[in-house]
Amino acid sequence: MNMKTNQKNNLKNHSAKIIRTLTVSALLVTGGLVTPELASFPTANVHAASPQAAFSQGAGFQAGAYDKSAAQPSSFNWTRQSRYVAPANPVEKWAFLTGREVIAAPVVGRDGTIYLGTGAWGGELYAVKANGTQKWVFPVDGDIKSSPVLGADGTIYVGTSNKKLYAINPNGTLKWTVTLQGEITSSPSIAADGTIYVGTGDRLLYSFDRYGKKKWNYPTNGQITASPAISADGTVYFGSVDGKFHALTAAGRPKWVYDVKSPVNTSSVIASDGTIYFSSQDGNLHALTNKGVKKWSHPTGTIITQAPALAANGTIYVGTAKGTFHAISSTGKQLWVFTTGHHIAASPIIGANGLIYVVAGDGRVHALTPSGSRNWVFSVRDMSVASPAIGANGVMYVASKSGRLYAIGNK
């Protein structure tokens, strides 16, 4: 395994490279289209959570060593219940052009900086200020096909298609990098002690300490394309494309393996009672106990393309390749279905006011009430397959395949 630790000359050279990098200005445009709907949703007494409120993954998860002062330090390994409220009257505030394809969700730091990766014949990790201007850009080896994550000390972790796992300092300089045996298409997950778990295309789940030293790897019979979820007791859950769902101890020993009989390409969410919810390529949403016993399986009728979100009342929300968005109770009963009209390749996010925000592939963002009616729909100018993020300022950030990062705020 090749490792580059804190080498002063490398950092100086890379810092100089960052300074020389052409700054791409934000495009201050207002081309979005908002369509209010007849359905109303009470928002009069709803405000964004206090900036001092800590990021919470949910009671079913182990509280990982994420930057808990960040607005959204990770796209996975949490319920996707934001502590902030997205705009009630959305309008495009700005759009930042990266120049390359973006297929993974942004994350938002404690100071409002938005981090996102790009790909298609080479990638970069961008840090964008809350006003839509570039803070820095870090070139990587390969494409970034998954969201970065923000560690407790501000370190940004991200993987690439060229088998690299990077740790990048908050100022955009290299902290360390390791080379794995397969491409990384999922976001790393961070445990309470700072251990970093990441799956790869070589069918291995890796465990690293915070300094980039490998602790162990665990072999499966299929590629691992989704982020692990870490439960409150430290169990590491993940699926693989060979149709198996795995539960490991923190030491990398198997607790149990559940035979799904269909590829598992998406991450899971964990309820406060330990129930694990995840989907499989055959279109089923599964619920297992923390012992690996099936509770139920709910068919959606088509491929589920991303991880579900879990509401405070136990409702599970998930989108499909046919553009249907499903609300399913904790007992496996379908509550309602909303049709977006275009495929959904992004996980939803739940606002602090209970609204569910769904991004469809045609670039339309749907705000849905917990009863399944549409509160509003807003159109960005590009196709999108990335999940949205909500900042502490109440701005929603949506990335597009054409390489734009959109900031959607209130009128």
Q: Global pTM? A: 0.89
pLDDT tens per residue, range 153-165 = 999 999 999 999 9
Q: Which two tokens stand for residue 135?
A: 């803070």
CA 410, distance to chain mean position in Å, is: 24
* Paired residues of 290 in beta bridges: none
pLDDT of residue 387: 94
Place of tokens 């796209």: 75
**In degrees rounded to 5, what are phi and psi of residue 86?**
-75, 170
What is the C-alpha to C-alpha distance for residues 53 and 297, in angstroms, rounded to an integer?
35
Alpha helix stretches (DSSP H) within 4-78: 8-20
CA 379, distance to chain mean position in Å, is: 21
> For the structural domain made of 3-410, what CATH number should be given?
2.130.10.10
Residue type, 214: K
Contact partners, residue 202, CB within 8 Å, separation at least 6: 180, 181, 182, 223
What is the C-alpha to C-alpha distance for residues 298 and 343, in angstroms, rounded to an integer?
19
Those residues of the chain that have pLDDT short of 50 are 1-51
What is the C-alpha to C-alpha distance for residues 111 and 117, in angstroms, rounded to an integer?
19
What is the C-alpha to C-alpha distance for residues 4 and 186, in angstroms, rounded to an integer?
22
pLDDT of residue 52: 54
SS3 16: helix
Domain ranges of the chain: 3-410
Contact assessment for residue 186 and residue 198, using Cβ atoms and an 8 Å cutoff? yes
What is the C-alpha to C-alpha distance for residues 69 and 281, in angstroms, rounded to an integer?
35
